[in-house]
Amino acid sequence: MKKILFPLIIIALSILGCNHNQININLTDAIRINQLGYYPESVKKFIVADSIASYFEVIDSEGKSIFKGNLIDNGIWISSGEGASMGDFTKVEKEGAYYILVDGKYRSYPFIINSKLYDKALTAAIKSYYYQRASMPIEEKHGGEYARESGHPDNNCNYHPSSGYENGTLNSQGGWYDAGDYGKYIGNASLSTGQMLLLLEQFPDIIPDGSLNIPESGNDIGDLYDELKYELNWILTMQDDDGGVYHKLTAKTFSGFIMPKDYDLDRWIIGKGTAATLNFAAVLAQASRLYKDFDPQWSSVALAASQKAWNWAIQNNNIEFKNPEDVSTGEYGDDYFADDFYWAAAELYTSTKHEKYLNFLKENKEPVKHELTNSWKFFVRNNAFHSLLENIDQLDNNFSNELRQSQISLADEILTELESNPYGIALNKFEWGSNSDILNQAMILCNTHRITNEEKYLDGAEQINDYIYGKNATGYCFLTGFGSKKVMFPHHRPSGADGIIDPVPGFIVGGPNNDRQDKLQVNYFNTMPAKSYMDIEESYASNEVCINWNAPAVYVMGYLQQKR
């Protein structure tokens, strides 16, 4: 493949008011870098796409060149079709503001080196869940310009026949909107909440009271606990009297791009099945131990609901959910339940110490692997592994050693892929929500670092994280409200309908999707797998937001903030 010098967007640097003493310098997004920045002690690498350039410099805020290095040809990345040259300035550790200058002519987007690198981004990624709250207004004192009226009271939801009831209604208020639409889904809610509960289990004080400016701030409980509780309380409403759990709460079809207050479709309680019931059991068992010290009554309620759900699932162990003929909202289908049972048993054992759950784990082993795409369906087993590893002292030596070595082997596989990839990531398969696949890989590495304290796993997690914030084949920072090349038009109904130019901040968008399920409506400029992304509202396949894409971002940024 013939390399072309900087074929992408180039902007005159003089527009930016740069004080570098060379006037003929251009800004290019062909320099793919973490647009947020780096920790002083972290690995600091970037990619120059399709370039014949040979060297680079790091320029500080005063326009001085403080470091020079050679670009290394990493070959062609098959997933993007680009030649990738890599620059490494890990030796630069002084905090400050910088940019990369390539061959004395082309500059990168600005970035910082700072020990509190992800403070604002982490807060925004968690605050995005507040903006997704159903059944309450977003008040100006908490939401600023993104204040909005309440919608979806969900206090009188119809039972769909698939729920097991022919008539009647359910009060199922609260919770988060799942994605760009206004549905609420138990499977995705459980996975996402569980990933962030793990962060609290590891670092209980990571998000102090008052740090998010949410309605519960000031109650002497950490704000992340409060935000997760809003979702957990909704999850509790979705359990039937017999212990089984309803699959989702949605209309029969998706609404248009309207604000919550303008929503006029009937809301339905749809389905009841094994996967939803087990995910419910898992996350409520997990939550019961984390809220026990400051809300013991709620903790007891959660644990009792979890055990009731487990008992129902044991008796109804193969009930698959599929959308009824008259329903076309997100299906979140799942016909493999072994991993769901494993996660539920892991959390119930960790919270109760009852031998029956431990015996179930030993008799029903799951492979320690990372199965790509549909994390709500497949990453539940990794949630189980991470909770067990965090409580490994409760396991006997054989079990704990086997689990520990399997986790390390999985992490080493990810590092091997990362080291062989021209862009320094571990993914060469881009499906719906590819950004969550990448972040889940980083989450695996973080948890492996936690049990080994080996720096290579933390370094790997950081390099994977760089991809999300700009070191990718599109050049976008995939977190709304952040970066220089910003996502402006996510598939997110409030952002599309509120009349505000900037989208609601703090959302991770889905990212490149080679399947492009929306290709009949969206004309993709580039169809290479790692470039199949469009920043337009219509692109639900690549530019939607979703709670399970944000959850691993919250975890990874939070972990890095604690360890760097």
User: Catalytic site residues?
Assistant: 181, 491, 535, 544
79: left (phi over 0), alpha (psi -120 to 50) or beta: alpha
- List Cβ neighbours of 297 (8 Å cut-off, separation of 6 or more): none
Contact between 206 and 224 under an 8 Å Cβ cutoff? The reply is yes
**Which among 357, 470, 335 is positioned nearest to 38, based on CA atoms?**
470
In sequence order, what are the beta bridge partners of 97? Answer: 112
Tokens 């903790």 belong to residue: 299
Pairing between β-strand 26-28 and β-strand 10-12 as defined by DSSP bridges: antiparallel
500: left (phi over 0), alpha (psi -120 to 50) or beta: beta
Tokens 């005063």 belong to residue: 62
- List Cβ neighbours of 513 (8 Å cut-off, separation of 6 or more): 430, 431, 432, 433, 434, 532, 533, 541, 542
How many CB atoms are closer than 10 A to CB 437? 25
Contact between 38 and 91 under an 8 Å Cβ cutoff? The reply is no
Helix (H, G, I), strand (E, B) or coil at 272: strand
Q: Which tokens hold the place of 144?
A: 């600023």
Contact between 200 and 559 under an 8 Å Cβ cutoff? The reply is no
- The values of phi and psi at residue 34, to 5°, are -65, 110
Alpha-carbon separation of residue 174 from 36, 53, 171, 383 (angstroms):
33, 54, 10, 24
CA distance 215 to 139: 9
Q: Which tokens hold the place of 39?
A: 């920790």
The string of DSSP codes covering 441-501 is: HHHHHHHHHHHH--HHHHHHHHHHHHHHTT-STT--B-BTT-SSSB----B-HHHHHS--S
Tokens 């003493």 belong to residue: 21
